[in-house]
Each structure stands twice: as C-alpha cells, then as structure tokens.
Amino acid sequence: MKQPALERLNAASARQKLESGELTSEALVSACLARIAERDGEVGAWTTFNSERALNEARASDARRTQGRALSPLDGIPVGVKDIIDTKDFPTELGSEVFTGRQPDADAFIVSELKAAGAIIVGKTVTTELAFFGPGKTRNPHDLERTPGGSSSGSAAAVADRQVPLALGTQTAGSTIRPASYCGVVGFKPTFGYTSRSGVLPQSAPLDTIGGYARSVEDIALLFDAISAFDSSDLDMSPGEKPSLAAALIEPPNRVSRFAFIKTPAWPQADVAMKTAFEAFAGGFGARAEIVDVTLPAEFEDILRLPQIVQFYDIAKNYGPIADANPDRVSAKLKEIIAEGRTFSAADYAAARADQDSLYEVLRPVLADYDAILTPAAAGPALVGLAATGSPMFNALWTYLGMPCISLPLLKVENLPVGVQLVGTRGNDANLLRTASWLMQERQREA
C-alpha cells in the first residue's frame, strides 16, 4: 500500500495490516501526522498534538509486535481525545480561556485504559466552551464555512478529515451524535453508565456520557471494548461484565430487522429537505427490513423541556461559580443559561430526574418488538457559519432517557451529510451496534 493512502484506513483495517506485518504503526501514525500538518490550518480540529511523542509510541508498539507479544486490537492505533478529558501528557483546557494552561496531574480513567490497550494518543481535540454552546475554532471538513457541530467538534472533524481513525467525545445532550451527523462519521453514545467519567469535566452527572467517533461500526466496537472497564469511583457506572461488542458484530441476525420510525416532538422543527430525505430512506427497504411508524405515548408531549431542566440546573451549579469569578472570560450564552438554570428549584430538578426512569418505563413496551428506534440525528445538514453549533433537539431526549444511540453517515441533503440515528434499549448496546452494522452493510450493497 502506498504511503498517501494510509490515513484512509479505519482502525479495524489498520489492525489487520499491523497483525499481518503489512503495515507498521510508525507508518500509520506518520501518515496521520502528515494529514494533520496538511489540514489543521483549515479544519482546526486540535488544541495540541505531539508528533514526536506519537512517533516514539508507535515505534514502541512496533517493537512489541516484533517481539511476538499478545497485543490489544488498539495497539499502535492513533486516537484523538476531547479536551475536557484529563491527560497528564497534554494540557486539558476545557475549551475555556479561564483554564488556559491547565495541566492535569493524572489521566482520566478512560485515557489510562487507552494507554493500557497500546493506543497512541496523538493529542487533544477542540471542544466548545466547557462542552456547551460556545464554539471553538473547528470547521466542518465537508464545507469550511459550516459548523462541525458541538461540543465534540474537533473529535468529529478529525475523524471525518482522516486525521485519526478514532476519537473520544462526550454527550450531555447531543454533543457526540450531532457532530457525527454534521461531519459524516459514525458517532456512538452508549447506555448511561457504560464507561467511566472519572477525570472528565462534570457538566450534569445524570446525563454526562462518554462518546466516540470512527468511520465504521466495527471501529466503534473496538474502541468501546477497550475503554469500558468498571471504575468504582464513578458511582453511576453499571457493574458486571459487559459482552464484547466486537464479538457481537460477528453474530448474524436471526430475523429481519425491525425498526420503530419515531418522529419526536422535535420533528416539526426539522428542515423540510431533511424530513423528505429521511422519510424516503425509511420507506426504501421493502422486504429487507420492517419499518413501522410509531407514535410516542402522550406522556412524551412536553419531553423536550425535561432534559433542559436537568442540564441547565446542573450547569448553574457546576459552572455558575466559574462564571461568577470570571465574568469577562465566559461567553454571554453560558451566562444566560446559568441564569436560566438558577430559576429552577430543587423540586423542579428532582421531578425532572424522577421522570427519567418513569418515562423510560412507559417507552419500554413500545420498544419490545423492535431492534432499534429509527430517527434523525440532526435537524438537517450542518449550519452555515461558525457562530453556533446547532441544536441538540434530536438527541437530548435519548440522552435524558439513558439509552444508547448511534449516528450513521447514510444520508445526504444538499450534498452534505446527515446522520441516521438508531436508538436502543438500555444495556443492549451490543444489539444496537449489531443492528447498525447490518444497516451500514445493507446500504453499502445498494451503493
């Protein structure tokens, strides 16, 4: 394989070539670094990266492989890490000038897991201000005049632009799924509590979830198999053994896939072109899949407000002191949301928190006969301009309910990517990825 093509490899393909000896980690990392050097001035996906460190780690990975040692599937694979996730080797500045130069003493739990798996952390990717709405410098690789989405802006753009095959993000409302939709990559938010958040900026503990980006579903499985060990210091983590996501993808489906096509209360606010394209997509499977229009129960009529109550209340609690101490160094939008969050009472918050489980129980019978919910990942293509990162209206509901979600780059609207979002039942992440893999393969066969 010629050197210029190496940055196009996804993680699974690179792993196979590394294992066969056809590829070295040094060559793979060099290709990614060359791509970053070529494109970072335009795309702006990185806050910092260290080429020398990455190459040294790649050579160490190659040495382990030469010695015949048993290696993790991610050994020698380059990864980007969102800049709200602590790294002792790189600054973690949280997308805020308040924290310029902040240098953690220790890695976040998931960063330690990546290192233990032999993954090569190239650097830190741009986040919006404190992982909320204030945009960073990143541009959408498909159109540099458009937003990449947020808050995991740099991670989505870096994977989309072939600067790294894998990257970590986070989601509290729509911060993983929406950038995946805008940038045309696979973005995954697992079940709440699936991965540790120790060493990650807390925004809203009942919602915060680690997410990830890749260019294939198989890569997502490899990434999350490597970072989902139990961490007792994160009290929201689900204990017990998790099934291998990579192994789940090998299992063939035992029946025709069934999808519940759900138009949430956000549907009327979506772009007309997106709605037309999505309805055509949902109706285009014939006998190969069963897609049923499903109406949400009446209890979901005002659902879009509940995630905001939880998130904004916690933003006021967690970010309010930062804004109060640094009024000239935080955005007007963040101060506005902090002020709104302070209008909610503890009783408002408790009621919204209680509805997370009660509404999920209402939804559970609706989902019992389906492999996944089929619904848009965003209201339309990426917005023109860099002043805003788009609305999480198509994502926040599922984050609030703690359900696993994945965005698949299967639609184009106005020649720009729009994600197809699949949502699964809590704890059934393996089935969601298996269903997503089937859907990707089905569309590739059509192409």
**Has residue 324 been placed in a domain?**
no
Locus of tokens 């138009």:
263
- The tokens for 386 are 């860099």
**Has residue 252 been placed in a domain?**
no
pLDDT in tens, the chain (447 residues): 444 589 999 999 999 999 999 999 999 999 999 999 999 999 999 999 999 999 999 999 999 999 999 899 999 999 999 999 999 999 999 999 999 999 999 999 999 999 999 999 999 999 999 999 999 999 999 999 999 999 999 999 999 999 999 999 999 999 999 999 999 999 999 999 999 999 999 999 999 999 999 999 999 999 999 999 999 999 999 888 899 999 999 987 778 899 999 999 999 999 999 999 999 999 998 888 999 999 999 999 989 999 999 999 999 999 999 999 999 999 999 999 999 999 999 999 999 999 999 999 999 988 899 999 999 999 999 999 999 999 999 999 999 999 999 999 999 999 999 999 999 999 999 999 999 999 999 877 776
- Residue 384 pairs in a beta bridge with 146
> What is the CA angle 167-195-36, rounded to 5?
10
pLDDT at 6: 96
Among 30, 61, 82, 153, the one annotated catalytic? 82
Overall residue count recorded for the chain in this entry? 447
Q: Rounded CA gap, 122 and 432, in Å?
A: 29
Active site residue 175: yes
**Has residue 218 been placed in a domain?**
yes
364 C-beta neighbours (distance < 10 Å), count: 11
Among 72, 152, 155, 175, the one annotated catalytic? 175
- Biggest distance spanned by C-alpha atoms of the chain: 62
Domains in the chain, number:
1
- Residue 203 pairs in a beta bridge with none
SS3 track for 210-228: EEEEECCHHHHHHHHHHHC
- The tokens for 148 are 């990449």
Sheet with 257-262: strands ordered across: 46-49, 120-125, 78-82, 166-171, 209-214, 186-189, 405-413, 416-423, 372-376, 257-262, 289-294
- Residue 170 pairs in a beta bridge with 210
Q: Rounded CA gap, 232 and 73, in Å?
A: 25
pLDDT at 446: 72
pLDDT at 247: 97
**Has residue 278 been placed in a domain?**
no
Q: What is the CATH number of the domain that holds 168?
A: 3.90.1300.10
Helix count and strand count (H, E) for the chain? 14, 11
Q: How many CA within 13 A on the CB side of residue 182? A: 38
Alpha helices in 198-296, H assignment, sequence order: 217-227, 245-250, 272-282
Q: Rounded CA gap, 32 and 21, in Å?
A: 19
Q: Is the peptide bond before 151 cis (omega within 30 degrees of 0)?
A: yes
* Closest listed residue to residue 375, CA positions, set 398, 353, 352, 358: 398
**Has residue 333 been placed in a domain?**
no
Q: Rounded CA gap, 160 and 154, in Å?
A: 10
Among 151, 153, 196, 391, the one annotated catalytic? 151
Contacts with 166 (C-beta within 8 Å, 6 or more apart), sequence order? 11, 74, 77, 78, 79, 80, 119, 159, 212, 213, 214, 219, 222, 223
In a 10 Å sphere around its CB, with 0-12 CB exposed, 13-18 middle and 19+ buried, how is residue 302 labelled? exposed
pLDDT at 3: 47
**Has residue 81 been placed in a domain?**
yes
Give the β-pairing of 289-294 and 257-262.
Answer: parallel
pLDDT at 1: 41
pLDDT at 2: 42
Residue 206's domain comprises 11-229
**Has residue 171 been placed in a domain?**
yes
Q: Rounded CA gap, 347 and 117, in Å?
A: 44
Spacing of C-alpha 199 from chain mean position: 17
Q: What is the pTM of this model?
A: 0.97
